[in-house]
Structure 1
Amino acid sequence: MTDTGMDASGLGNVSTEDLRPISKDTLFAPDGLSHPPRILLLYGSLRERSYSRFLTLEAQRLLEAFGAETRVFDPSGLPLPDDSEADHPKVAELRDLCAWSEGQVWCSPERHGAMTGILKSQIDWVPLSVGAIRPTQGKTLALMQVSGGSQSFNAVNQMRVLGRWMRMVTIPNQSSVPKAYQEFDDDGRMKPSALYDRVVDVMEELMKFTLLVRGRSDHLVDRYSERKAERLKLQMAAREVLEASR
């Protein structure tokens, strides 16, 4: 335990005296929400030595040190979008985790100047709405990418567009790790560097945004146009009932 009261085991790269237990901050305490922030992490490679998975697991360790409850989805076995029914076990698992989460992390390699199809398939399986439930709307999102060459932001820029389209609160900060093969040791742990410090920054910011938004997302995403459309639909249904009763 550190002087902040957090378990810092496994965080050898972190200056623990500078780490803060955000989830215990009284500024972030919505009424009736005492459980830890729930964060889902997605990665975009199935390689045995997958740097996007390694980076995702580093993010998971940091989030748990900050006080979050986390889940990492394994995309192995997830069918291509539209190549299976939504009741496929992997699809159902992914959708359940999205509904469970209050924030998410998406991490993809950059392949041919873009995010991978593996990451995109996961996002494509999550619809904007399932009945009256919107699995992503109002949830927070942090973005990261790894590259085999020089630093690039193509994948995170693409994912940022997707995050907005999925009506997520996409945080300003982001992480891009160039020449990822140089940044991880033989055990898949990220080496100390300014790039690692940026990952800490991004996870800290995600925690703050999640704690600010959760419990308030229904209000934040309440839209005039949708209220108007719903009112008109109810009025039309009422007229149809009235006409049918005459």
Structure 2
Amino acid sequence: MKGLYYRLAASQEEETFVFQESEPVSSPSDYHVKLQVKACALTPINTKLISALYPSKEHVPVGRDVAGVVLEVGPKVSFFKPDDEVVGILPLDCEESGLCDVIWVHEHHLARVIDVSKGNVNLTEKGIEETGGLGFDIIVDAGVILYNTEDSVTKPTLLPHKHEIISLLSVGGRWVTREQHLQLDPPDSNILFLKGASLSYLNEETWNLSSSQQGKYLHILLLPHPDEDSSETSVISDRRHRGRGSET
């Protein structure tokens, strides 16, 4: 299959990225899965690391994060079957580009997509089953349901409940949430404590800023409202500016 490759030792006159046919160096093993790629992310290429690990390599496949549908499985594959929707990360020594239409991937590099859109799948049971009862080391959500079904819920029903996410965390796991109004009940907090897990917040606006601009963003957020008494806040702001001036 034809895929996109990065040329490591390309001169200024040569193209850095090239399309060429990809052929597996070795035949797929009994544990490989034939995957029809539906989506692929253009992840950054660490040329220094690849040159150090594989000095004889001339071309590096582009695209390692893939998602698709299983077409065929090896005789010893136990985790997947044809027509399963999966996502995965191709290893550094993979010779096939993730932008190919069809690739062979070892089953250990893939994970099954849990479809909760029909409402007949228990997210907690499925997640524990996929991880062999260990749970996930890190979970990044796109929002959570904050209230019970008896209350008025404005969030989409496809979002998981906060208790489900906490139940899916492994020992020492980490939950990264984008929900700014998240509140944990004492039982949920107790589960986090028993697992030694942690909770972090992801603010998209701060995340997209460089480290030199994050302080300015926080300073804008801390500015008082025009209708409020700003005397105390202005004193704190002046002290911060004086401290920064003395440091410089």
* TM-score when normalising by structure 2: 0.28
Of Structure 1 and Structure 2, which has the larger fraction of its residues in helix? Answer: 1
Of Structure 1 and Structure 2, which has the larger fraction of its residues in strand? Answer: 2
